[in-house]
Structure 1
Amino acid sequence: MIALKNKNIIGMLALRDKRPFSLEQKMGHIDGYLPRYSKICEVRLLSVQKQFRNSKVIYGLLKKAFEYITLKQYDILVISGILNQQKLYKHIGFIPFGDIVGDENARFQPMYITKNSFRLQLFFTEKEKISLLPGPVEISREVRKAFSERPLSHRSNEFKEVFYETKRQLCSLVKARNVEIFTGSGTMANDVVSIEIGKLDKRGIILSNGEFGDRLIEHGYKNNLDFTPYCIPWGQSFDWSDICGVMEKEQLFWIYLVYSETSTGMVNDYKKLLSSACKNDLKICLDAISAVGNIEVDFSGVYLASCVSGKGLEAFCGLGMVFYNHEIKEPDIKIPRSLDLYQYIHSQGIPYTLSWNLLFALYTSLGNLKERNKIKRVNELYSYIKQQLAHIGLTPFDGGKNVNPAVLTIPMMKPYSSQEMGQYLRENGYLVSYESSYLSERNWVQICLMGDIKKENLDGLVNAIKFFL
């Protein structure tokens, strides 16, 4: 068995079942040290290039060895364990026996492991993956069950009862007067917000301090909004007094920003605008997609806010929503029917087909969030994993008080690769975010706590990261 990097061999091992074993040539017959067995083999020629002598490579080779001995029905494996990797061997389940062998140039600890070792099975068998992505998030059993219910027509009375109760719970959660729900993504929800801003027919400002702020600016251009883009470096906090100065100088009427910037985990505290000198009839519009369900929100002073079902609300992707506190005017321009908020309002919220399964899953999840005190749970998990990551030398972006505890963005330092770590964690049962271009270009990995995550999930994740490092 070999380990490759860029088609170059960086590690290898062999398996031998012909006796005498290499260990027996060094220490004599070994059966007296071992539990009863029927078929035995030995790991031979375990070798890893010096620059790759980390637990990741050795772990991968041993994993392949285990798969092979399981296939060939060996029930015990012996090895000359590398001395400086004893912690790894023992963690997997190897048991040392006899004295250290070898000479001053190469010394080894004889070790064995049985096929039925619990810890080996725990590490090497395929297990269900845990989603620590910003979406799709980890879904609870109750919500999955709700999603699998027999579909109902969106025109049925039962559908409407659940639909209107879901809207009521959403408005209560964020302290908004109204919400409309539609089939679509967060991008679509932001298009709906942009179209409503366009109805104001006034100039405004769009802020950006991260990837999703940049996307809002793109929404502005593509929806022909009249605005000033206001950009600062990613991860920095906005200077609200400076923004107010720009708005007063240019006589800007509305502001559009990301409430929780997913790319860095920053929370942009727009509420400071409500008490500022520039608040005179200011229309505050939010991309709140990563905020709702993860942090306390209050949209009572907000003009428009976008949201989705598949992040902090812990349901399935596929439903977009827009919150609002004002009367929606009939458009005097031609816009697509699916993006026309006025059309939803004047059709009692259901102008077109809406998925019962997505709706009922969201309805079920909203009940769980309240019952399980989601926001408190996210804060506790954030404090715990941040501390555990610090112990292994990883530090996520820290926005101080202005941080979304459901998002940890971790810059990886060379020689470590975010792509390699993300792939490694995926192989070992943990889905983290690393494939988006804005993450891969910066060598960042994201761990998100938006879904139904438990402390034991994080313990396993941290152990897997330790192996990688």
Structure 2
Amino acid sequence: MGDENMNYTIKIARETQEFEGIFRLNYDTFVEEIPQHSENTERKLIDQFHDENEYVICKEDDEIIGMMAIRDIRPFSLDKKLGRIENHLQLSFSKPCEIRLLSVKPKFRNGRVFASITGALIRYCLYKGYDIAFISGTTRQTKLYKHLGFEPFAQLVGKDDALFQPMYLTKEMFYQKEHLRTLSMVNSFLPGPVRVEDQIQSIFLSQPDWHRSQEHKQTAESVFSKLKQLTNAKNVSVFTGTGTVANDAIAAHLASLGSNGLILINGEFGERLADHADRFGLQYDKLAVSWGSPFNIEEIKKLCRLNHYHWIWFVHCETSTGMINNFDAIQKVCEEFSIKMCIDAISSIGAVPINFEKAYMASGVSGKAIGSITGLSFVLFNELEKSVNNVPRYLDVKYYQECDGIPFTQNSYLFKALDLALDKLFEPNFFDKKVSVFSYVYDTLKAQGFSFVVEKELTSPCVMTIAFPKDINSMDIGLDLYLNGFQVHFRNRYLIKKNWIQIAFMSANESMVIIDGLLHTLQNLFKEKTKVAP
């Protein structure tokens, strides 16, 4: 759906004029073409389950040229025709749906519209978590339905001039059909987990290495070396777990010092740092500003003069808004007042060049902008003094160092994947390419009237956040993009609450063809919404 030479848009029907178009297309197909219902003077056919249907439609400009209806409320139409469906099948399921009213206008039956609707329908079923789909397939198109993976069951239903074959497709059957997986492929623009290269995925085809083997030791040492080279930190401890574990490790170490500090908050993940601190009983003040706003450095200095903090903890790339906080300015404050600087760098390592030479502790992960498999996190640090209180063993950064970085069982697959992914970050112009892609997308959308939470010069090249007006629902935009094969970030509670979506460019090699497809589709959906907005 990303071809700019066509004006097709796949979406969920929500507007009055869209439902009117559905009624007319329904009439053309199931009254005039397939004589399933009686004629009427209005030339409209409203389905008996209309109020319970979800319609996936394909539009060319304002014209509805294709549609399908999905419904998950029992009894289905097949239940009414056959009796309870379960009595005709020797398999179990827990979340079924029924697909009906497939219709494409005759002049658009060239395959592209049908393929687009089918791909969207599959994505929608996966989105909703259905484990089986039922259809009443017209006997005129039995071959087509079988090509889509549907299997017949029970007897024919309908009238002699309009016979239908009950059919079903389970989620397991879908996953076995390569052409269906290709048809419903989704291009990810999530901040994590990210799309990984085929070479990295292939690592998981071999047998794992013992964590005490020389092979794993060499891989781990390579990972440690590359992370230190990338960030200019002297030491690193790698944990099995997400970024939450790494930030817990920082909180645990700060708690062991028995000192007070300042936490800077201008987004969801700054608030989570405060939650880490609370759970470990840290003594701290917090400076909170509105989401997407930069910190006032003079205000930070004033607090430091008054309170004699031992540490400052902040998020470098605040993923919830896309803002890159002023690392250099905060570092200068820490130097001026002899304060330890702690950084959540989970979304900035691999997104922008970074230097932790003067940092106290910084957290990162294997996924996100590094582009590896989610599952490893790490704490980079320079010199750590002796703890006053005990730190839980699993979170003890210094204990990992005492054990040469391998204190417990480790997943060799994740280390090998991270080792391979890190190589790309040392390629010439790696970061420049990210900025170039980001600038192209930001400028294109800005010119089309989109509003952003953070100004361009303050935004990470890997995460941009779009804010919609109240009369445009971000969840609708996010779902419709997904139906078109573009997975953006829109389902987190804070995004829903603020009516935002996010587009992330964490992958190392973004395809400009796919990006143009995303932009074209997003622009079409935005125009659709602004046309119907009051």
Bin for the TM-score computed over the shorter chain: 0.7 to 0.9
How far has the Cα of 1:461 moved from its partner? 0.9
The aligned counterpart of 2:319 is 262
Contact 2:400–2:407, Cα closer than 8 Å, also in 1: yes
How far has the Cα of 1:377 moved from its partner? 1.8
Could you tell me how far apart the structure 1 residues matched to 2:272 and 2:60 are?
37
The aligned counterpart of 1:214 is 271
Could you tell me how far apart the structure 1 residues matched to 2:300 and 2:102 are?
69
1:10 to 19, 23, 33: 19
Could you tell me how far apart the structure 1 residues matched to 2:199 and 2:437 are?
21
Q: What do the CA deviations read for 1:236-256 (whole angstroms, capped 9, x no partner)?
A: 111112111111111112100
Could you tell me how far apart the structure 2 residues matched to 1:175 and 1:418 are?
40
How far has the Cα of 1:400 moved from its partner? 4.3
Contact 1:337–1:343, Cα closer than 8 Å, also in 2: yes
Contact 1:396–1:408, Cα closer than 8 Å, also in 2: yes
Equivalences for residues 203-282 of structure 1 within 5 A: 203-276=260-333, 279-282=336-339
2:366 maps to 1:362:
no
Could you tell me how far apart the structure 2 residues matched to 1:335 and 1:56 are?
62
The aligned counterpart of 2:519 is 462
How far has the Cα of 1:17 moved from its partner? 8.4
RMSD: 3.3
Q: State the identity %.
A: 29
How far has the Cα of 1:385 moved from its partner? 0.9
Could you tell me how far apart the structure 2 residues matched to 1:385 and 1:338 are?
42
How far has the Cα of 1:339 moved from its partner? 0.8
The aligned counterpart of 1:159 is 216
Contact 2:268–2:320, Cα closer than 8 Å, also in 1: yes
Contact 1:273–1:279, Cα closer than 8 Å, also in 2: no
How far has the Cα of 1:451 moved from its partner? 1.6
Partner SS for 1:371: coil
Partner SS for 1:198: helix
Structure 2 residue identity aligned to 1:265: G
How far has the Cα of 1:429 moved from its partner? 1.2
Partner SS for 2:19: strand
Contact 1:3–1:10, Cα closer than 8 Å, also in 2: no
Contact 2:262–2:284, Cα closer than 8 Å, also in 1: yes
Could you tell me how far apart the structure 2 residues matched to 1:169 and 1:324 are?
14
Could you tell me how far apart the structure 2 residues matched to 1:431 and 1:134 are?
10
Contact 1:386–1:395, Cα closer than 8 Å, also in 2: no
> How many residues are treated as equivalent by the alignment?
401
Q: Which runs of 5+ in 2 are unaligned?
A: 1-10, 35-42, 47-54, 70-99, 120-182, 527-534
Partner SS for 2:406: coil
Could you tell me how far apart the structure 2 residues matched to 1:220 and 1:166 are?
29
Contact 1:195–1:223, Cα closer than 8 Å, also in 2: yes
1:294 to 316, 339, 351: 351
Could you tell me how far apart the structure 1 residues matched to 2:33 and 2:496 are?
50
Q: What do the CA deviations read for 1:61-97 (whole angstroms, capped 9, x no partner)?
A: 61439xxxxx9999x953xxxxxxxxxxxxxxxxxxx
The aligned counterpart of 1:113 is 108
The aligned counterpart of 2:238 is 181
Could you tell me how far apart the structure 2 residues matched to 1:277 and 1:464 are?
45
How far has the Cα of 1:165 moved from its partner? 0.6
Could you tell me how far apart the structure 1 residues matched to 2:248 and 2:64 are?
46
Could you tell me how far apart the structure 1 residues matched to 2:210 and 2:417 are?
15
Partner SS for 1:169: helix
TM-score by length of 2: 0.69
Could you tell me how far apart the structure 2 residues matched to 1:168 and 1:59 are?
58
Could you tell me how far apart the structure 1 residues matched to 2:423 and 2:319 are?
25
The aligned counterpart of 2:481 is 425
How far has the Cα of 1:359 moved from its partner? 1.0
TM-score by length of 1: 0.78
Contact 1:293–1:374, Cα closer than 8 Å, also in 2: no
1:62 to 57, 63, 66: 66
Could you tell me how far apart the structure 1 residues matched to 2:518 and 2:261 are?
44
